[in-house]
Amino acid sequence: MENQDCDGIVLLAKTPGLTSFSALYDVKHALNTNKVGHTGTLDSFAQGLLVVCTGKLTKLAGNITQFDKTYSAVIKFGVETDTLEYTGKTIKTAPLPNLQALEKAVKAWTGTVMQKPPVFSAIHVDGKRASDITRSGGIADIPARKINVFSAEIKETKLNEKGFVEYALVDFCVSKGTYIRSLARDIGEHCGSAAHLVGLYRTKIGNFNIEKAAGYDLLKQFTIENVILQSNNEQKSEPKVERNSKLQQEIKNRLITLDTETCMLCGFNVVKLACDKSFEDFKHGKKLHSKMFDTDLHSLKKETSSAVFSPDGKFSGLIFNNADGRIEYKFVLN
């Protein structure tokens, strides 16, 4: 039987080797629900933070994807692969860069830039995933798009015997829709080399941090040496997902209920319905107007979402102030 008390948000630390879907196994079993949805996937080779919505709050998943994100990435130089990560096929080789060239390249790819997404990605081209088109031998023509790299900092390097950079660990803070795999490729090209990712660690999504995630203690320290060891030892097939009782208990203990504070962490405005009649009108989808709420809706910033709470303080749904200043429903919880 579906658990009626599973509505909430789970911060989950995904381990490398699992798909984002498989990583949800322990969430489903801990909360006894199949209603789970994450707000942004991680590649199977990557590790780090997943923000997971559960129960009735799966409706939130598609509405809290606008966050900036923070990553640590280990980049290998001298080789570019078709997937832009280490499991792909080599398509280009080039000399290793020196440290000065790498520093200039990282600086050049900081700020507002135009990025060409990977052809192995979930982006849709003419109604099909780019990755499916590429695997079937077609050409996925994905236009470059504007992204923001708010910060990029080299934290660690591994040099060869001649002093050239073989690997670099770089911390990035980026806007929604940024592909770190593409940044690795572009930084490699800019410093006169070639490059791909061998490790990726998502540490922050908006106001949510990996340190608060269930399973955080299961992650190994993210260093160049540990990432190289992981990539060398990783199985060709995804490891079998097995029950982890300790992790499931941690998930239960850390389930976040959707109160006003959490809604603000999610980036929503918070408004409250003025009275029981307003609550009934809201539940039944009647036309929205400011008198229904404790806030003048037109005072809210355009193109923002607001979490709606009942008079007794329960989360009840989401509304949106569009570009024209009209207030519309996103969804109502029944």
Distances from the Cα of 35 to the Cα of 9, 181, 214, angstroms: 12, 30, 18
Q: Are 95 and 192 in contact (CB under 8 A)?
A: yes
What DSSP designation does 193 have?
S
Task: Give just the sign of the alpha carbon dihedral 84, 85, 88, 92.
Answer: positive
242-256 pLDDT per residue, tens? 778 999 999 999 999
| Beta strands, E only, 96-205 | 111-115, 124-125, 128-129, 145-159, 165-174, 195-205
- Neighbouring C-alpha atoms within 13 Å toward the C-beta of 110: 15
* Per-residue buried b or exposed e for 151-179, using 16+ beta carbons within 10 Å of the residue's own CB: ebebeebbeeeeebbbbbbbbbbbeebbb
Domain ranges of the chain: 1-66+207-257, 69-205, 260-332
Same CATH topology for 69-205 and 260-332: the answer is: no
Residue whose tokens read 């909430």: 8
Pairing mode, strands 165-174 and 145-159? antiparallel
> Which of the following is catalytic: 5, 7, 26, 43?
43
Structure tokens at 103: 């520093």
- Grouping H, G, I as helix, E, B as strand and the rest as coil, residue 230 is helix
273-331 pLDDT per residue, tens? 999 999 999 999 999 988 999 988 888 888 899 999 999 999 999 999 988 888 999 99
Q: Are 198 and 81 in contact (CB under 8 A)?
A: no
Is 43 among the catalytic positions?
yes
Structure-derived torsion over alpha carbons of residues 26, 32, 35, 41, reported in degrees to the nearest 10 = -10
Share of the chain above pLDDT 90, in %: 67
- Positions in the chain whose pLDDT score sits under 70: 1-5, 65, 119-142, 234-240
**Topology of domain 260-332, CATH:** 2.30.130
Closest Cα to residue 74, out of 193, 216, 228, 185? 228
Domain over 69-205 is classified CATH 3.40.50.300 = no
CA pair distance 1, 36, nearest whole angstrom:
15
Looking at residue 78, its amino acid is G
2-20 pLDDT per residue, tens? 555 689 999 999 999 888 8
